[in-house]
Amino acid sequence: MIGYIHFTLKAAYHSWRHKCKCIITYDNYSLTTAIILRLFNPRIKLFHHGHEIIEPGLSKWYHLRYWMEKLTLRYSKDCVWVSQPDVKRAHFFEEISGTKDVKVVRNFALRNFKYPIEKLTLCEKLRKDGYSICIFTGTMGKNLYIEDILKFIRISEVKIAVIFAGALRDKSIEALLKNEDNNEYLSKLIYLGFLPRKEMHALLSSADFALVLYTSSFVTKMSAGSSAKVGSYIAYGLPVIYPSFWDYEKYYREFGLNYNNGQELVERIRQLAKDQDLRIKLSENAKHLFNDSINFESEFKNMEETIHYYMEVKL
């Protein structure tokens, strides 16, 4: 609470100092602050690019937070321009906020950025030994099909190394990866931990294809356009294995393969590991889509034009 008060006071000072006419908010906290500031300066135009979708939880505190944020979001109707990073999130946001015509601005990677091409030494050694490189980046929580992947590696005839990079937040997965009985397989199921940016780019540059590991839930079903990791994957031209409940975004089918469960997931891993021609085709599709449309600049063009319009014409 003290931190939020300090943030609001600081925002108020800079708003006054720079004669602010426009505020762009990216979460419910900053939206609340912007609403407060506009009480003192009604000329301020609000643009809201929301990302958080809160669902009711079982705990009393979480449930209270849900209803308080739902109340706050009602004020988004007064914003000049409101957007969400996914089609389903946009529809859901319209329902809970009463806002009409919520735009979609997906979270993709920058096209106008020079992506490093250095390779990860580990991956280069594996490739020299004849292995295909499959990667997953992000937080490792429950229900990520790790057991299915480990079982596949134990019995598979395919030379495939699956590399995980990111925060490890589930003790059962940690125990699985550190189980001495699995030592002989952990040279092919590798956990690198949380990587600095340079090493993460090197991993992405070294991979043959990538995984999006989600089981079906309220939030994950609305994450096809909001997945920052997918933006990074396609920026490097990586084919993607993704959950089938994301098929409402049809571009995934052009650079990836879907799965419904753990069994289908490992079949997709086997398929891409064995079929180099398919990997090349999906990779080329990913690069083409990234350069033409699925990138930060294309998605935010509407937002930029809208802000310029309201700032130059309306004010």
Per-residue pLDDT tens for 126-152? 999 999 999 999 887 777 888 899 889
Q: Which residues contact 8 (CB under 8 A, 6 or more apart)?
A: 33, 36
State yes or no: pLDDT of 36 exceeds 60. yes
- Top pLDDT among 62 and 47 is at 47
Average pLDDT over the chain, rounded to whole? 86
163 by DSSP, 3-state: which?
strand
Q: Which H or E run includes 298? A: helix 296-309
- Top pLDDT among 29 and 265 is at 265
State yes or no: pLDDT of 160 exceeds 90. yes
State yes or no: pLDDT of 68 exceeds 80. no
- Which residues lie across from 132 on neighbouring strands? 160
- Among 181, 152, 146, CA closest to 164: 146
State yes or no: pLDDT of 101 exceeds 50. yes
State yes or no: pLDDT of 314 exceeds 60. no
pLDDT at position 186:
62
Pairing of strands 209-211, 189-191: unpaired
Assigned token pair, 95: 């329902």
CA–CA distance, 223 with 136 (Å, rounded to integer): 16
pLDDT at position 60:
53
191 by DSSP, 3-state: which?
strand
State yes or no: pLDDT of 53 exceeds 80. no
Domains of the chain: 2-106+297-314 (3.40.50.2000), 121-292 (3.40.50.2000)
CA–CA distance, 293 with 114 (Å, rounded to integer): 17
- Among 236, 267, 234, CA closest to 249: 234
Query: 């994450």: which residue's tokens?
Result: 223
CA–CA distance, 4 with 29 (Å, rounded to integer): 8
- 258 φ/ψ angles, rounded to the nearest 5 degrees: -105, 165
Q: What angle do CA 40, 307, 29 make, to 5 degrees?
A: 50
- 257 φ/ψ angles, rounded to the nearest 5 degrees: -125, 145
Assigned token pair, 107: 């979270």
First to last CA, the chain: 34
Residue 33 Cα distances to 12, 172, 311, angstroms? 9, 40, 20
Instruction: Output the pTM of the full model.
Output: 0.86
* Contact criterion met (CB below 8 Å) for 146 and 169: no
HSE-up of residue 111 (Cα within 13 Å, Cβ side): 16
- Among 226, 227, 193, CA closest to 210: 227
State yes or no: pLDDT of 241 exceeds 60. yes
User: DSSP state, 47?
Assistant: E
315 pLDDT tier (thresholds 50, 70, 90): very low
